[in-house]
Chains A and B, each alone.
Chain A
């Protein structure tokens, strides 16, 4: 949570720069912007062998990844959580 907490990082950003707009938050999130957030998540997924980025496409690479994706999607559907994120 401390390391990757999305909401916590938004709070920390707004503590340092109060009254900023949504665009300000997106562009300056964690001091690096939203793209860095996405890149970090993708790198982690790749290092865990869940997503393959060897081509220009992101792909669920292993049976583990497929199984995990299915389980989490079932959980969200069962509890009607929407797509989340």
Chain B
């Protein structure tokens, strides 16, 4: 039972250390996942615990961590709370919030990331979806209608 926890901790160490030494995000993740696979393999070979057991527990923990990571990094609500925390009296008016976290920047930052990661491409008149994001957009529209989601913003 402790094996997946130990290997998960080892993954976290590699992941966090890689954040200090490398600036390329995809390289950091590739390095972390390569280290993770190696750790799982070594642990399974060194012990009598099955590879399937270690990997499934391990990838479950990694999935939880990924949700935490993305949730903290990309969440608008978390950013608002962080901006409030950084003020002297832990409060801001809406106008002050707009100054430190402008809506324009919020969107531009996200759109830039999506272009960088190949989800959007910039055209002369604006932005359009790439092939993979067309598929994802169609899937999202379908799933939202399936779940009957109305306020999806």
Q: Indicate whether B30 reaches chain A with its CB closer than 8 angstroms.
A: no
Contact A22 B129, beta carbon cutoff 8 Å: no
Q: In which size bucket is the chain A interface? A: 35 or more
Alpha-carbon separation in the docked complex, A65 to B84 (Å): 10
Q: A2-B143, A38-B103, A79-B16 are in contact. Are A60 and B84 (CB under 8 A)?
A: yes
Complex formed: what's the CA distance from A59 to B120 in Å? 36
User: Known contacts A6-B76, A51-B80, A69-B84: does B153 contact A29 (CB below 8 Å)?
Assistant: yes
Q: Which residues of A contact B (CB under 8 A)?
A: 2-12, 14-15, 18-22, 24-26, 29-32, 34-38, 40-42, 44-45, 50-51, 56-60, 65-66, 68-70, 72-73, 75-76, 78-81, 83-85
Can you name 20 extra interface pairs (CB under 8 A) apart from A58-B80, A72-B81?
Answer: A2-B149, A3-B152, A4-B152, A4-B153, A8-B136, A11-B114, A11-B133, A15-B129, A19-B126, A21-B127, A30-B152, A38-B103, A45-B77, A51-B80, A57-B92, A59-B90, A69-B78, A79-B16, A84-B82, A85-B101
